[in-house]
Structure 1
Amino acid sequence: MEFDPSKYSTTSFDSMGPALQLVKMIQKQNVDINQPLRIVDLGCGPGNSSKLLADAFPKSTIIGLDVVYEMIEHAKKNCPNDRCKFFVQDLSKPFDEWQQEIKEILYTKSADIIFSNYALQWIFDPFILGDSIKKILTPKTGMFFANILYSDILSVVDKNDQHECAMLERYLRYPNEQQFISDWIFGLKNRSQLHDIWIHYWQPRSVYPEKYYRESYVKIPLKWHEHFIVNDVSADIHARMSEILKNLILKKRVKRIIPRNMNGKHDECDCNVNGNNHVKNGDNDDGEVNDIEIEQQVWTIVARSSNDSCMGESCIYKNLF
């Protein structure tokens, strides 16, 4: 695995704010926290979001699924709760090809809530996962809470750089935002048969040690963007494309440099004023001189498995934020 899940677990500042927002959305749907709900965390990673769910819903069972074995092993340590169950599962596969143990668990009792934070963009066929969601979400009462990331890196391409433009034109098949998000919306509507689909777009920001983000954490979004490099290119072309993509990601996402003084504190620091949208790193300085503020493009999707007219305070559109 390219990234240490223990490192990811302690430095996932960009994802935890949106995860908390999703948890708050669930809580605002008059969900009785004392009910033994079944919550499935799709793409649970190292278990950070699963732990949030376990703490917020103390009587519920959390089932975390992720394709990476190391992430699941770390999640088991990160959330050592007998109400949390973690499984390695490739969500891009049809439900009939999922592990038998997972299918048996979800056949016995389907999911009351499906939750997914910073994971769905890694599924490149929303229609396959849409079919799976339909099979595991409780009919009529089930709810779906998720977010999807998209980065419009092509908007920062230097049109005067003819070499870079030629490389991108020839070797990159990058989806535009309209098509990427609409595929998910219609996949959920038509395959998952979800209803009352509510969509919110926002740009949460986070703060990272500059060197750490530029040299280490950027590898995660880079790996996603590399998926759109055309197949069968040479190793040299792939390496050159990766470098172009990395520079575009940094150009798009890095919003400002936040200088630190000699004591390690910021000369100007409004880093904690925006609540969950703007998370400050406190313990992982690694001798850094500066921090950087990064921006993300996040689509939040909330939906129900029933098309019954919502009534009063139970309506899923009520007070989501």
Structure 2
Amino acid sequence: MEFDPSKYSTTSFDSMGPALKLIHLIKKQIIDINQPLRIVDLGCGPGNSSCLLAESFPQSTIIGLDVVPEMIEHAKKNFSKKNDRFKFFVQDLGLPFDKWNTELRELLQTKQVDLIFSNYALQWIFNPSILGDSLRKILKPKTGVLVANILFSDILSVVDQNDQYECKLLEKYLHYPSEKQFISEWIFGLKNDAHLNDIWLHYWQPKCIYPEKYYRESYVKIPLKWHEHFIDNSVSEDLRKEISKILTKLILKKRITRIIPRKMNGLNHHHNDDVDVNQVKNGDANDDDDDDEMNDIEIEQQLWTVVARSSNDNFV
């Protein structure tokens, strides 16, 4: 795997605020949080969100699922080996339920899941209908609740329309959905395939601060991998690399709202000296690589929050 799960667990600043917001929404639902809930954390990563769930719902059992073996290994090492309230499984959520891990399927298919939680993960599932059908098979009828969010990145809105080569390249080889298409497919997948109702949506743009050099050189590989999914499979390796470079530039251009110069020790953030946002978005701001001083950057993301309840549907 390209990204170290131990590093991810301590640097995924952008996801923790939204995770806490989801937990706040759970507590507002008609659900007794002091009861022994069974919670499934879809796309649990290294276990950060699962830990937050366990702390917030002290009587609950947390079942964390992630497609990346290294993430699950990290989560097991840090949580399940120390607390039997945690169970973690490597699982590709894009597979039909009858293809899931046998032990996991036996654990879940009794429809005893009270809550399905997912933070910064559903956008990685490119067929919502398949996952929706799986959710229907594990969530308690009538009382089961889904609380999740879905990321989207409208990078095409920041393409330089004067760059004809770049525009033609993306138009021909990048099959990128509109935000309307992407989110609509999810909502109808949850409604029609997961049989969820009382669906509530909220759109917001959370912000967080990252060390600039770290985000540009390392963390950006995570959203880049998601965007690369939409590159035409027919392109050559060289052309794929060229498109990936363009995508990296657009991701940074779309997400970085400002650069904040700071001291290396991080004690002082000089907001009055911020580099102009237009410089950031045009890629004209220079990184300060001096050993005594670095820059922070403010990252803004496009996030859809979904809360829904299962229907009174016992059909399997």
Q: Which residue of 2 aligns with 1:217?
A: 219
Match of 1:196, SS state, is strand
How far apart, CA to CA, are the structure 1 residues paired with 2:249 and 2:61? 42
TM-fit CA distance, 1:267:
1.8
Distance in 1 of aligned mates of 2:307 and 2:209: 27
Distance apart, 1:26 and its partner CA: 0.6
1:230-277 CA distance string (max 9 Å, x none): 0021110000000000000000000000111475421238xxxxxxxx
- Give runs of aligned pairs for residues 299-318 of structure 1, distance below 5 A: 299-306=304-311
Report 1:49-88 matches (<5 A): 49-79=49-79, 80-88=82-90
Identical-pair percentage:
74
Alignment partner of 1:168 is 2:170: yes
Give the TM-score of the pair, scaled to structure 2. 0.89
| Greater RCO structure (CA 8 Å; 6+ sep) | 1
List gaps (5 residues or longer) in structure 2. 273-290
Q: Relative to 1, partners in 2 of residues 1:132 and 1:267: Cα closer, same or farther, differing over 3 Å?
A: same
Distance 1:202 1:166 in 2: 31
Deviations along 1:194-252, whole A, 9 cap, x unmatched?
00000000000010000000000000000000000000211100000000000000000
Summarize the Cα distance change of 1:258–1:194 in structure 2 as closer, same or farther, 3 Å threshold: same
1:248 alignment partner in structure 2: 250
Among 267, 270, 289, the residue aligned to 1:267: 270
Q: CA RMSD in A?
A: 1.6
Alignment of 1:1-321 (within 5 A): 1-79=1-79, 80-108=82-110, 110-261=112-263, 264=266, 265-268=268-271, 289-306=294-311
Shift of residue 288 of structure 1?
5.6
Distance 1:205 1:78 in 2: 28
Distance 1:5 1:263 in 2: 25
Distance 1:165 1:38 in 2: 48
Contact 1:156 1:248 in 2 (8 A): yes
Deviation at residue 31 of structure 1 after TM alignment: 3.0
1:288 and 1:110, CA in 2 relative to 1: closer, same or farther beyond 3 A? farther
Residue in structure 2 matched with residue 314 of structure 1 by the alignment: none
Distance of 1:26 and 1:105 partners within structure 2: 23
Please give the secondary structure, in 2, of the residue aligned with 1:260. strand
Question: Which residue type is aligned with residue 140 of structure 2?
Answer: T
Give the conservation status (yes or no) of the 8 Å contact 1:196–1:307: no
2:263–2:293 Cα contact (<8 Å) kept? no
Amino acid at match of 2:261: P
Kindly indicate whether the alpha-carbon contact (under 8 Å) linking 1:113 and 1:144 is maintained by their aligned counterparts in 2.
Answer: yes
SS at match of 2:150: strand
Q: What are structure 1's unaligned runs of at least 5 residues?
A: 270-285, 309-321
82 and 8 in structure 1: CA distance in 2 versus 1, 3 angstrom threshold: same
Question: Runs of 4+ in structure 1 displaced over 3 angstroms?
Answer: 261-264
Q: Secondary structure at the match of 1:229?
A: coil
User: 1:8 & 1:231 partners in 2: Cα distance?
Assistant: 29
- 2-structure distance, mates of 1:78, 1:219: 25
* Letter paired with 2:106: E
The offset of 1:107, in angstroms, is 2.6
- Provide the C-alpha distance between the structure 2 equivalents of 1:208 and 1:262, rounded to a whole number of angstroms: 13
Could you tell me whether the CA contact under 8 Å between 2:111 and 2:139 is conserved in 1? no
C-alpha displacement of 1:91: 0.3
Query: Contact 1:209–1:288 at 8 Å: present in 2 too?
Result: no
Contact 2:41–2:50 (8 Å) recurs in 1: yes
The separation in 2 between residues aligned to 1:96 and 1:263, in whole angstroms, is: 51
Matched position secondary structure for 1:300? strand
Paired with 1:287 and 1:106, the residues of 2 have a C-alpha distance of: 53
Indicate if the aligned counterparts of 2:191 and 2:197 stay in contact, CA closer than 8 A. Answer: yes
Does the residue aligned with 2:63 lie in a helix, a strand or coil? strand
Q: Is the 8 A contact 2:264 2:293 kept in 1?
A: no
Q: Distance between the aligned counterparts of 1:235 and 1:62, measured in 2?
A: 41
TM normalised by structure 1 equals 0.88
Report the CA distance between 1:32 and its aligned residue.
2.4
1:28 deviates by 1.5
How far the C-alpha of 1:192 sits from its partner, in A, is 0.5
Q: Hey, what's the Cα distance between the residues in 1 that align with 2:265 and 2:146?
A: 45
How far apart in 1 are the matches of 2:96 and 2:106? 15
Aligned length: 292
